[in-house]
Amino acid sequence: MKQRVVRVALVAAIVALVLLAVPLAVAIRVSFFADERGEVERAAMAAAVRVSPDFAAGDPVELPSGSSERQVGVYDRQLRLRAGTGPGRADSATRRAMADRVVQDQTHNDLVAAVPVSQDERVIGVVRASTATQQVWNRVLLAWGALLAGALIALGAAVLVARRQARILSAPLEALSRTSLAIADGDLSSRAELSGITEIDQVASTHNTMVQHLAQLLQRERHFTANASHQLRTPLTGLQLGLERALDTPGTDQSAALEEALEQAHHLQHTIDEVLRLATAEAGPPAAASTLPAGDLLDRVEARWHGPFAQDSRRMEVVPDPAALTLPVPGQTTDQILDILLDNARRHGAGTVTVTLRELGGALALDVTDEGTLAIDAMRLFERGATTGTGTGIGLSLALELAESTGARLSLTQRSPTRFTLLLPQSE
């Protein structure tokens, strides 16, 4: 990533420098030669004004002192050098100037300017000035060297800027790569940080959203496995014990044992349905659930749990409000919540367990009370994994999720003796 960004920046910088430097180098050459031609012509004109009208009669010429780089000479009509420096015989530019016109010429070695000197509309001589082209080329090459040095400095600055920008651009992508590797190693809490670069931040946000959804899916799968294991343990144990008791006890009514086993199997099926519904439920309004009269629900719960509490030498009482027995409740969900609360009372509570049904005007209240004392912080009571003994700490968390999935409310209403209350709203 870094090398690619640097290469792209360098290519762009080189192309820009070439497009700028080549025309500028050509312009420098043309400008330097044009300036030198002008200087040579001005030198020739300055010398021409020093030639007196008596030049043709042999009057000597005093030429002005000029640059050591230039040659200035005066030629008569016989094309001979009379004063100054230059070729002994006039060159082509000087001969053309005899026709009374200023001539500029460039030979292989010199830049030449020839200016005619006239007297009474008659050319009496020609002033020739010249500069070696190598002198001009030296100045051109020096300027080109300065231009090249500036281009190299600009290219170096472009490299530094490109490397810095490459680090800025690649750093969030490298961080995103490290985050992806951490997630691949199982750390689903890792999230990509925003960098301030819009396009990269969009990728990071999409990545975080994807990871969030994956984490939720994995959490649902894990919760489903844990919830199913937790909820199926008690009914499976009851089913197994009932069948073993029927086989081991002579004279047992096999039909009654099979009916009880069938009832336990139905309850297992309902348990699986509820746990699966909770695992696949999406956020939104509570899903419609099948209902049954509250009295029938209490009868089923008492039939399932009277025996287990009796085996522990504990009592279970059901105290219904007669006015509420016919009111509908979400059967399977409420069944599962009560199973969790009663199992929790059996494992962690003490004494008699009482299930109370109350009608509150617009809602039904189901209280599960035992004679024990809550030994865990109420703030952590419904957290998954929170437990006071050897349990998994799943039950109360699952009961709360089940209650919320149908719009009900589960809460601890008393610490000693311990009492949990499930509020079931009644539709009007």
* pLDDT 10s digits, 180-238: 888 888 887 888 888 888 888 888 889 888 888 888 777 666 666 665 665 666 666 66
Q: What is the pLDDT of residue 286?
A: 44
How much of the chain, in percent, has pLDDT values that exceed 70? 80
- E strand spans, 187-338: 291-293, 316-319, 328-330
Q: Choose among 338, 340, 317: nearest CA to 387.
A: 340
Q: What is the pLDDT of residue 149?
A: 93
Return the C-alpha torsion angle 57, 59, 62, 63, nearest 10.
Answer: 10
d(CA 47, CA 127): 7
pLDDT over 90 (residue 370): yes
- Do 36 and 131 form a contact (C-beta atoms < 8 A)? yes
Q: What is the pLDDT of residue 389?
A: 61
- Averaged pLDDT for residues 333-362: 88
d(CA 6, CA 169): 11
Q: Is 121 exposed, middle or buried (0-12, 13-18, 19+ CB in 10 A)?
A: exposed
403 CB-near residues (< 8 Å, 6+ apart)? 333, 337, 409, 410, 422
Max mean pLDDT among 81-90, 243-252, 254-263 falls in 81-90
Q: Specify the higher pLDDT residue, 420 or 243.
A: 420
- Do 39 and 131 form a contact (C-beta atoms < 8 A)? yes
- Averaged pLDDT for residues 78-90: 87
pLDDT over 90 (residue 123): no
pLDDT over 50 (residue 284): no
d(CA 382, CA 402): 12
**CB burial readout 152-169, b (16+ within 10 A) else e:** eeeeeebeeebeeebeeb
pLDDT over 80 (residue 172): yes
Report the interhelical angle of 294-311 vs 331-348 (nearest 10°): 20
User: Which of 7-21, 65-79, 106-120, 291-305 is least confident?
Assistant: 65-79
Q: Do domains 2-149 and 288-425 have the same CATH topology?
A: no
pLDDT over 80 (residue 153): yes
d(CA 139, CA 35): 12
3-class secondary-structure state, position 178? helix
Domain boundaries, the chain: 2-149, 288-425
CB atoms < 10 A from the CB of 111, how many? 22
Q: What is the pLDDT of residue 283?
A: 39
Which alpha helices (DSSP H) does 49-132 contain, by range? 92-97
CB atoms < 10 A from the CB of 222, how many? 11
pLDDT over 70 (residue 239): no
Handedness of CA 296, 297, 302, 304 (dihedral sign): positive
d(CA 337, CA 399): 5
Out of 3.40.50.1100, 3.40.50.10440, 3.40.50.300, 3.30.565.10, the CATH code matching 288-425 is 3.30.565.10
d(CA 195, CA 199): 10
Q: What is the pLDDT of residue 65?
A: 72
d(CA 46, CA 378): 110
| The token pair that represents 359 in the structure block | 């009608």
Q: What is the pLDDT of residue 145?
A: 94
pLDDT over 70 (residue 282): no
User: Which of 273-277, 351-355, 407-411, 417-421 is least confident?
Assistant: 273-277
In whole angstroms, how large is the CA radius of gyration of the chain? 53
CA-to-CA separations, 226 to 77, 191, 234, 316, 397, in angstroms, rounded = 121, 26, 14, 28, 11
Q: What is the pLDDT of residue 139?
A: 93
Handedness of CA 294, 337, 237, 350 (dihedral sign): negative
Q: What is the pLDDT of residue 59?
A: 76
pTM > 0.75: no
pLDDT band (50, 70, 90) for residue 285:
very low
| The token pair that represents 14 in the structure block | 């080189």
d(CA 247, CA 243): 6
145 CB-near residues (< 8 Å, 6+ apart)? none
How many Å from the N-terminal Cα to the C-terminal Cα in the chain?
Answer: 64
Instruction: Return mean pLDDT, the chain.
Output: 82
- Do 339 and 368 form a contact (C-beta atoms < 8 A)? no
The architecture of the domain spanning 2-149 is 2-Layer Sandwich (3.30)
291: β partners? 330
Pairs from 260-264 (Cβ < 8 Å, separation ≥ 24): 263/303, 264/235, 264/238, 264/239
How much of the chain, in percent, has pLDDT values that exceed 90? 24
pLDDT over 90 (residue 138): yes
- Do 241 and 263 form a contact (C-beta atoms < 8 A)? no
Q: Choose among 150, 120, 115, 106: nearest CA to 13.
A: 150
d(CA 240, CA 236): 6
CB atoms < 10 A from the CB of 95, how many? 15
